[in-house]
Amino acid sequence: MEIFDLINKQGNLLFSKLSKKDLEEILSYLNLYLLEYRNTLSLSSQDTFGIEIETEDIIDYNDLASAYFMYEDEGWTKKEEPSLDEGLEFTSPPLKDDINSWQEIKRVCDILKRYSSINEKCAAQVHVGAQILPESSEILSRFLLLWSTYEDVIFRFGNGEYTISRPLIDEYAYNCNADFEEAFLVLQEFPTDFMEVLAMLKKENAAAVSFEKCNKLGQYNLNNTIEFRNPNGTLNPIIWQNNINLFMKMLYYVKSDKFDYETIFHRRKLNKYNYSYFSDYNKIHLDSALEFCDLVFNNNLDKVYFLRQYLKNNNEDTKSFQKILGLTR
């Protein structure tokens, strides 16, 4: 019996409202569930995303260049990355939620696995086309509120197959809880100051979320993106897919008419009493994670994929989680 014998994939179970007994049963099955690579995430065909893959320990630059060559014709680029010792950064063109894009990411990851590896310095940035959000003070303030309230959950999820954030995250993707809360309060009091707030956010180019390249919300062009910088480096396509799904579903949620201010403000208040240090971001905060999951995702399949990556194996056994995701044999 697997978890989807217990719950319907397309249903929308409220995990945060389950009894302790029911939750324990579901989490026990979740702990055994093997994540699979998906052909689609049910994203809008109007929305785009791109990724930056960082790798180190390259075995043979010539062999790697030869194997990777065809993807350069498809719009992928590679360059040296100053934060790495002798590594490279591989950047995709704008992609969409279709089987071709997902298979392209998988094939590039497979090539990089053969000729390189990731280490504690590598990051995994996701760019989302800025057309996904309208130019609206209310919707931008919703995003700032959601992120600043659940940033601890988002960071732990973004650790991917690891249980802690990479050592250099404070330098290249620092937490933006305080900055976002300040910007949210400004928009609450002065909603017409939208462009001033966006300009303020654009200056924080090394934050976990960067608006530096965002020239105009609600409009598509090649370099007009919102960048998510907190995830740890990975060569696992399942984690790439999970990360992209989270960030884009968050952006869909802040546009929806189901945005739940009451629940989010309550959690925001609890956070001030429960923890205040960045080291807490690596810990499991189950109540907050279940609540966030119920807010952002509208189906059990997405929720299971999110919770599987967030909780790891519940016992902090990183190697076992790597095996589940196909990173070890």
pLDDT tens-digit readout, 29-82: 999 999 999 999 999 999 999 999 999 999 888 999 899 988 988 899 999 988
Residue 29: C-alpha distances to residues 4, 18, 24, 33, 254 (Å): 9, 15, 9, 6, 30
Backbone φ, ψ for residue 210 (5° rounding): -115, 130
Mean pLDDT value of segment 146-169: 95
pLDDT above 60 (res 257): yes
DSSP 15: G
Spatial contact of 319 and 328, defined as CB atoms under 8 Å apart: yes
- Cα gap 1→265, rounded to integer Å: 38
* Residue 79: strand pairing partners: 89
Evaluate whether 15 touches 308 at the Cβ level (below 8 Å).
no
Q: Look up the pTM and report it.
A: 0.93
Q: What is the pLDDT of residues 197-221, one digit of tens each?
A: 999 999 888 999 999 999 999 999 9
Would you place residue 314 in the very low, low, confident or very high pLDDT band (cuts 50, 70, 90)? low
Q: H or E stretch including 58?
A: none
Domain ranges of the chain: 42-289
pLDDT at 324: 41
Instruction: State residue 242's pLDDT score.
Output: 98
SS3 99: helix
Asked if residue 317 has pLDDT above 60, the reply is no
CB 224 within 8 A of CB 213: yes
* Residues 326/34, Cβ–Cβ less than 8 Å: no
Q: What is the pLDDT of residue 320?
A: 42
Lowest mean pLDDT among 65-69, 153-157, 234-238: 65-69
Among 24, 23, 30, which residue's Cα sits nearest to residue 1?
30
Neighbour tally for 146: CB within 10 Å:
25
pLDDT at 322 over 80: no
Per-residue pLDDT tens over the stretch 258-277: 999 999 999 999 987 665 57
Question: What share of the chain in percent tops pLDDT 90?
Answer: 81
pLDDT value at 321 more than 70: no
Q: What is the mean pLDDT of residues 312-322?
A: 52
Per-residue pLDDT, 328: 37
- Separation of alpha carbons 79 and 22, rounded Å: 49
Q: What is the pLDDT of residue 279?
A: 77
Residue 23: pLDDT over 60 = yes
pLDDT given for residue 273 in this prediction: 62
